[in-house]
Amino acid sequence: MSKEGQGKSEQALREARRAKAARLRERGENPFANDAIAGEPLSDLGAVRAWSAGAVLPDGRYDPGRIEPRSWRVAGRILFLRAMGGVTFVRLRDRTGELQLHLSEGALGAAYARLSELDLGDFVEATGRAMATRRGELSIDVERFRLLTKAYRPLPTKTSFKDVESRYRMRYVDLVANPAVSDVFRARSVMLSAIRGFLDGRGFIEVETPSMHSLVGGATARPFRTHHNALGLDLYLRIAPELYLKRLVVGGFERVFEIARCYRNEGVSARHNPEFTMLEFYQAYATYETLMELTEGLLRHVDERLSAALPEQHAAWSRERDFGLERFVRVTMREAIAQALARAGLGADVALRAHQPDAPVGEWADRARGRGRAIDWAGYRQAVQSSASEGERFCRAYEFLAEPFLTEDYRPTTRRRASRPRSRSRVAAPRRRWTTTTTTSGPWSTACRPPPASAWASTDLPCC
C-alpha cells in the first residue's frame, strides 16, 4: 500500500474511534476518565501473578484448582482482543507485565455488547476473580469493566514500526511496539540509584553545579552557545562539570560527585548523543590507585544491584556482553600501544613518526590492514599534527592505535604476567570476561594532568 493509501486508512480508523468516543459521551460517560483512583485500590498485574505463583505447573501453565479466587481490580492498555462466541479474551499490559481478562456474556449481561466499543490501545479497568482457563492461562474472570481512556490512534506493532530513526524520534511509540526497550530505561534507573548508594556509603556528597558557563573548560569539545538575556552574557552549555567540582574540593568538600547533564556540539549517531549524562567524582587525599579500586568496586556494585532488580534481563545481557567484572587486567598506556602495534605488524616508531610530513602512512595502513586492523589513519594523522606536545601525541597514539582494539588484544586467552606492579595511573576499559585498564607512566604521564591534591574519574551513562 502506498503512503497516501496508508494515511487514508489510518485516518478512517481514527474517525471510527472518535465516533465511538462520541457515543460514550452521549450516554453520559467520559471516554477520558480521571477517577480511576476512586473505590477499591487498583492492583498491578504483576501482583496478580505473584499471588498465584503457587499454582504454576512445571510446564508453565496454571492449575485451576490451586488458584485462590480472590477479587482483583486491575487496569491497563489493551494489546489483544479476541471474541469467541459468548466469550471475549482481552490482553492487558501495565508497568509490571501482562495479564488476560476473561469476559463472558453470561457474567456481564447487557454490558457485554459494549465490548464492541473497545479498540487496541484503549485503557480499561476491570474487576473480577482470578481463574485459569482450560489451557492453563492465568486470567481475571471479569464481573465489571469500563473504559478509562480511548485511544484515537491504532497501536503500532513490531513489524509496522521498524524504522530506526522513527524509533529514536518517537520513543513513546517504540516503548509500546517493543516492550523490551523499557528494560533499558529501568536498568538506567537502577544504575543511577546504585551509583548514588555506593558513593553515599563512602562519604561522598552529591552536588549540582551550573550547566551554563562563561568559559569552556573541563574537557576538549565544541560547546553549544546560548545567551542570558537578563545579564546580557553569551554563555556555553557545559561540556563537563569538572571545574566547579574542583572548586568545591578547594572549598573543603573532600568527597563530591555529580551526575551531570552535559552538552557537546559534535557528531550524532545511534550510540552518541550531543546531550548526555556524565558521572564525575573527586576525592581528596587519594591517588589514581585509590580511584582504580573505587571504580572496580563501583562497577561490581552496580552490576550486582542490576542483577537483583532485573534478574532475567541481566542474565540475558550478561550472555551477550563481551566483558566481565571478575578480573581487571591492568596495563600501562605504553604497554597497550606496544601491544597494539605488534599485533598490527608495525614498529614502535609509528607513534613517534606519525606527525611527520614524510611518514609512510600508506605503507603502515597496508600492513595493518593485512593483520585485520582497521585503523583510522586520517583521523590519527590529523590529531597528532594538531597536538601541541609530545605528551598529547602519545595520548593520540593510544586513542587511535590501542583503545579501539582492547577487546581483541586482551581476551582471556591472552597470556599475562602473574604479577604486575600496581603503581601507575590507569583508565578502566571493560572487555570480554576480563576488564582491561590502561595506564600512563614515565614522562608521558603529565599529558593527562592528574590533579595533585585529588583524584578524578568520569563515566558516561546511557542516554534514553
Q: Mind spelling out the 3-state secondary structure of 41-89?
A: CCCCHHHHHHHCHHHECCCCCECHHHCCCCEEEEEEEEEEEEEECCEEE
Cα(434)–Cα(51) distance, integer angstroms: 41
End-to-end CA, the chain: 33
Question: In this structure, how many other beta carbons lie within 10 angstroms of the beta carbon of residue 78?
Answer: 20
pTM of the predicted structure, to 2 decimals: 0.77
Contacts of 384 (CB under 8 A, 6+ apart): 354, 355, 393, 396, 397
Cα(435)–Cα(328) distance, integer angstroms: 4
Length of the chain: 464
Cα(344)–Cα(372) distance, integer angstroms: 8
**pLDDT for the residue numbered 6:** 63
Query: What DSSP string describes 382-423?
Result: HHHHT-SSHHHHHHHHIIIIIGGGHHHHT-TTS---S-----
Spell out the per-residue pLDDT of the chain, length 464, in tens.
556 666 678 889 999 999 999 999 999 999 999 888 877 889 999 999 999 999 999 999 999 999 998 999 999 999 999 998 899 999 999 999 999 999 999 999 999 999 999 999 999 999 999 999 999 999 999 999 999 999 999 888 767 787 888 888 888 888 888 888 899 999 999 999 999 999 999 999 999 999 999 999 888 889 999 999 999 999 999 999 999 999 999 999 999 999 999 999 988 877 778 999 999 999 999 998 999 999 999 999 999 999 999 999 999 999 988 777 887 888 899 999 999 999 999 998 999 899 999 999 999 999 999 999 999 999 999 999 999 899 999 999 999 999 999 878 887 653 343 334 333 334 444 333 334 444 433 323 333 333 333 333 444 443 44
**pLDDT for the residue numbered 264:** 94
Tell me how far CA of residue 113 lies from CA of 108, 126, 232, in angstroms.
9, 16, 65
Q: Show the cell assigned to 88.
A: 471475549
- For residue 19, the surrounding DSSP H or E stretch is helix 3-26
DSSP assignment, residue 300? H
Q: Which H, E and C letters describe 219-238, residue by residue?
A: CCCCCCEEEECCCCEEEEEC
The secondary structure of the chain in percent helix, strand, coil, rounded to multiples of 5, reads 40, 25, 35
Question: In this structure, how many other beta carbons lie within 10 angstroms of the beta carbon of residue 427?
Answer: 19
- What torsion do the CA atoms of 81, 84, 88, 90 make, to the nearest 10 degrees? -30
CB 109 within 8 A of CB 150: no
**pLDDT for the residue numbered 128:** 96
Cα(162)–Cα(353) distance, integer angstroms: 47
Cα(283)–Cα(266) distance, integer angstroms: 30
Tell me how far CA of residue 169 lies from CA of 172, 173, 180, 270, in angstroms.
9, 9, 17, 11
**pLDDT for the residue numbered 441:** 34
Question: If we measure between CA atoms, which residue out of 283, 278, 206 comes closest to residue 238?
Answer: 278
Domains and CATH numbers, the chain: 3-149 (2.40.50.140), 181-319 (3.30.930.10), 328-448 (no CATH)
Look at strands 328-332 and 435-440 and give their pairing: parallel
**Cα angle, residue 195 at apex, residues 189 and 199 outer, rounded to 5°:** 150
